[in-house]
Amino acid sequence: MMIEELKGKLFVYGRKINLNDGNALYPHISLDGNILPERNNVVFENGVLKYIFSERGIITLMFESDNLDDFLFQIFKDITFEMALTFEVSNRVENQDFRRVLFSKQLEILNIIDETYKERAAQEIKDILKVSPFNDY
């Protein structure tokens, strides 16, 4: 059963980065299609995992896949972004684009989970920086 496998890996990977099983950074996993407002949700429909966000009554599909590893990468990309953002706020470097610390910390955390997750995110960050380069001021 894909949902049970997802839950198992989600918490195993989360523990690697010091998240307890009840941490609010995890998405809500819906077994009955019930979506919680103002947070990320996982729904399993017709053999496909859907990563959904609900805000102010508007439901946005962020990602869907039947590949568990791709799905977990998307979830942990969001979780580690939030963790890195919290770190960056406390470790901001004056006159430096905040994304330098943010991206570096996110990649560091993703590497703890899985080196391939780090590599995938690093490529996405390179693509972002091609369009919006660092702007140290």
For 103, how many CA atoms within 13 A lie in the half-sphere containing its CB?
A: 18
Number of domains into which the chain is organized: 1
The domain in which residue 80 lies consists of 2-131
Q: Kindly report the CA angle at 124 between 79 and 111, in degrees rounded to 5? A: 50
Residue 85 placed within a domain: yes
Segment-wise mean pLDDT, segments of 10 residues, the chain, 137 residues? 90 98 95 88 91 89 92 97 98 97 99 99 99 95
Q: What is the pLDDT of residue 47?
A: 85
Residue 137 placed within a domain: no
Residue 90 placed within a domain: yes
Residue 136 placed within a domain: no
